[in-house]
Amino acid sequence: MSVLEMSDGAVELGGRTVWRDASFQLEAGTITAVLGPNGSGKSTLLKVVLGLIPLSGGMLRVFGERPERGSRRVGYMAQSRVADTMSAMTGRDYVGLGFDGPRFGWGHDRTKREVVREALILTGTELFADRPLASLSGGQRQRIAMAHATVFQPGLLLLDEPLAALDIAAQSEIVELTSTVSERTGAAVVVVAHDLNPLSAIVDQVLWIARRQVRSGTVDDVVNEATLSDLYGHPIEIVVTPRGRRVIVGLEEEFAHPHPHGSDHSHENEHAHGHEAHLEGAHVHHTPGDPR
């Protein structure tokens, strides 16, 4: 049985179709990258799987059942967190909230300490888990957030832009961690990203969302000129560098609204930082010929 199965899924928000005709499956132990322009509905897809937004059509089964909000079997790592800027919260505290944060009342679970410790070990964060989150590097915070999301060793792990705002070294650290977590826990992992290149070595499947459509398949199935040109409705060119990176030309949509979600002022600097990393490291959208 697949971890997740969607057939002909469609979502409407405020009377507008976000995407439709989405059909794909996620298998245990695989990693799926979700790509596409800003506002195309990548985060919406995660919210649908979490049971926070209902499908307006089609069918979705998570572990063979309708998605259930608050399920421990689905781990979720949000894109930005207030906790990251806190000097009065340690990584261990934050991971602990993943364990019993949703629970009201006085009870204290004796297993908490051990479960949290296991999550810290799995993500290699024990050494800095007792330092304030605000004092950690971006990569260290993402590792802690990964521990938070995997505290119950979920069978399905959803990561919303885990590589955004990280420098190249931290990006590859998180990519490696994602692969390790998937291997050790057998989780099906979904990674929302802006750029396929840092992930290409670990990705088994790609979901590309654009113009209300969702294409799924292996990297070669989806990331080719014919499929993307069809998806975007205009010619897309892909140049593969000698080191195997893909430079994709023609995704103009991405230039029009680089950061429409940039209302969170505390992260402006990080965004700028992430952007730089983007230029250096390459990839999907910036090439010498591009109008920038």
Nearer to other proteins, 64 or 101 (CB): 101
List interacting residues with other proteins (CB under 8 A): 50, 52, 69-70, 74, 76-79, 81-83, 85-90, 93-94, 97-98, 100-106, 131-132, 134-138, 148-149, 160, 263-264, 269
| Closer by beta carbon to other proteins, 48 or else 206 | 48
d(CA 112, CA 101): 11
Instruction: Give 13 or 82: the residue with its C-beta nearer to other proteins.
Output: 82
Tokens linked to 264: 């969170």
C-beta closer to other proteins: residue 100 or 230: 100
- Min dist. Cβ of residue 136 to other proteins (A): 6
Nearer of residues 61 and 81 to other proteins, judged by Cβ: 81
Looking at beta carbons only, is 23 or 266 nearer to other proteins? 266
Shortest distance in whole angstroms from residue 83 CB to other proteins? 4
Residue with structure tokens 């979502």? 11
**What is the C-alpha end-to-end distance of the chain, expressed in Å?**
46
Q: Per the structure block, which two tokens stand in for 82?
A: 């207030």
Residue 69: burial class (beta carbons within 10 Å; 0-12, 13-18, 19+): exposed
Quick check: 133 and 144 in contact, CB under 8 A? yes
- The interaxial angle of helices 168-185 and 138-149, nearest 10 deg, is 20
| Residue 174 Cβ vs other proteins, minimum distance, rounded to whole Å | 16
Minimum CB distance to other proteins, residue 127 (Å): 16
- Of all residues in the chain, what percent are helix, strand and coil, respectively (each to 5)? 35, 25, 40
Among 120, 207, 267, smallest CA distance to 199 is for 207
Q: Nearer to other proteins by C-beta: 33 or 129?
A: 129
* Orientation angle between helical segments 138-149 and 91-100, nearest 10 degrees: 20
Rounded Cα distance, 178 and 287, in Å: 28
Distance CA 153, CA 149 (A): 8
- Quick one: 15 or 106, whose CB is closer to other proteins? 106
User: How far apart are CB 102 and other proteins at their closest, in Å?
Assistant: 5
Shortest separation between residue 110's beta carbon and other proteins, angstroms: 16
Q: Residue 148: which residues within 8 A CB-CB, separation 6 or more?
A: 77, 94, 95, 97, 98, 119
Shortest distance in whole angstroms from residue 46 CB to other proteins: 8
3-state secondary structure 52-65: CCCCCEEEEEECCE
User: What is the closest distance, in whole angstroms, from the C-beta atom of residue 278 to other proteins in the complex?
Assistant: 18
